[in-house]
Each structure stands twice: as C-alpha cells, then as structure tokens.
C-alpha cells in the first residue's frame, strides 16, 4: 500500500487513558469481569493461586492480600450465589482489570490456540470441550443457577457463542495494551 495518502497527518493524538472522571463499571460490567476471571480459572487449573500471586506482583498486595479479599470483590457479580450489593470503587475495578489483563497475557498462547483456525478441527474442538467442561463445573459451583444469565451460559444453543465472547475479551484485552480496551468495553451502556 505504498504511497497512499491520508491527508490527516496534522491530527493530534489524545491520550488513550482518557475517560470520564468518576465513571464506574455497572453491575453488568462487573458480571462480565468476573466471568472472564472465571474463564481464566477454567483455562488454568491453578488460576486461583495465580491471581493472588499476580496481584502481589502488580503491586495490589494491599487490595488483594489473600484469596478471600479477592473473592469478596468478585462477589459483586450479580450472578454469584453469594452475591453482594453495591458497586466497586474505581481503584478496585482498575486493579481487577489490570489483574485480568496480566493473567490473559500469561495465558495468551492458550487463548490463541482456542481462536486459531489453522489447527485440525478435532484438536480445536477438544480444546473447546475441555474449556467448556471446566467452565461449566465452576459455574455450577459458584453461580446462581436460577439466574437467566447462568442458564444462558449453560445452554447448548447460547453457550458456545458466550464462551467465544469471553475468550475474545481475554485475547484482545491481554497485556498492558488491552487495559483501556477492556475497561471501555466493561463500561458499555447496557442494552
């Protein structure tokens, strides 16, 4: 595409961290955030321990000193069995998103394998099947089966699309560069 011209070279680049001050993530956003963390646990058998370790590595040791504190923040997901009312503060949600981005970065080779179409279909199907099995096990253990959102996740018709959506969120939100993308997505208006 050599020598194509845009004619917009004088545009200034706003900072990518620009966002409305004091804007919080809605309950719907917290639900997606926790489901993505649950997907990380489904992909990594040691996910729970990895989260606490990663939180300490990222400097969030004060916010999430142990698994219980992390679990308490994740219980703001309205689909949880032990659901908590209210909203999380911005530093807490930012810490959870940073944690998720770092974990997704660590698991990126697995995420890529799931999304790749270059490998034999049987192998890809087996990978998705393994992920589905572990995720459904975690969902039945921790989420409220009477909620419509949980039933949709376990539904054979809607489930695959929702699981793919979760993996998309992790793959495109992985790493330092994915933070703003993922945060803006979690702050989307509810339909």
Partner 1 sequence: MKLSYRFEQTSCRLRLDGLPDYSAGQGQDVIGILTGWELSLAGHPALEGKREHLAALMQAVLPYARHLVSGVPRRFGGEDNPVQIQPMEGEASVMSHRVLVRSSQPDTSPLELAFDDAELSDLVRCLDQVRLDPRVQVDFALPAEQPLPRREILERIPLRQRLASPLAAMAALAITTSIGLMLPLPRRPAIPTANPAATEARPEAAVDPVP
Q: Any contact of residue 178 with partner 1 (CB under 8 A)?
A: yes
Q: Any contact of residue 181 with partner 1 (CB under 8 A)?
A: yes
Query: Going residue by residue from 2 to 21, which x/- string records binding to partner 1, judged by CB under 8 A?
Result: xxxxx-xx-xxxxxxxxx--
Residue 189's alpha-carbon distances to 29, 30, 40, 84, in angstroms, are 9, 13, 25, 22
Site for partner 1 in 144-173 (CB under 8 A): 160-161, 164-165, 168-169, 171-173
Site for partner 1 in 92-151 (CB under 8 A): 108, 111-113, 115-118
Phi, psi angles (nearest 5°) of residue 2: -65, 145
Q: Any contact of residue 47 with partner 1 (CB under 8 A)?
A: no
| Per-residue DSSP letter, 189 | P
Give the torsion sign (CA, 142, 55, 95, 99): negative
Footprint of partner 1 (CB under 8 A): 1-6, 8-9, 11-19, 23, 108, 111-113, 115-118, 160-161, 164-165, 168-169, 171-178, 180-185, 187-191
């Amino acid at each position: 595409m050599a020598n194509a011209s845009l004619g917009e070279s004088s545009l200034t680049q706003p900072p990518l961290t620009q966002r409305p001050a004091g804007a919080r993530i809605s309950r719907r956003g917290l639900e997606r955030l926790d489901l993505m963390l649950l997907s990380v646990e489904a992909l990594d058998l040691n996910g729970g321990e990895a989260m606490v370790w990663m939180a300490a590595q990222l400097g969030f040791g004060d916010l999430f000193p142990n698994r219980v504190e992390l679990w308490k923040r994740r219980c703001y997901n309205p689909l949880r069995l032990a659901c908590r009312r209210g909203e999380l503060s911005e530093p807490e949600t930012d810490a959870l998103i940073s944690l998720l981005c770092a974990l997704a970065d660590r698991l990126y080779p697995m995420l890529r394998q799931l999304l790749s179409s270059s490998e034999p279909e049987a192998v890809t199907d087996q990978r998705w099947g393994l992920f589905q099995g572990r995720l459904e096990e975690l969902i039945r253990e921790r989420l409220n089966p009477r909620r419509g959102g949980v039933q949709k996740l376990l539904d054979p018709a809607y489930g695959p699309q929702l699981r793919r959506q979760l993996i998309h969120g992790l793959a495109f939100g992985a790493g330092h560069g994915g933070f703003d993308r993922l945060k803006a997505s979690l702050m989307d208006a509810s339909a």
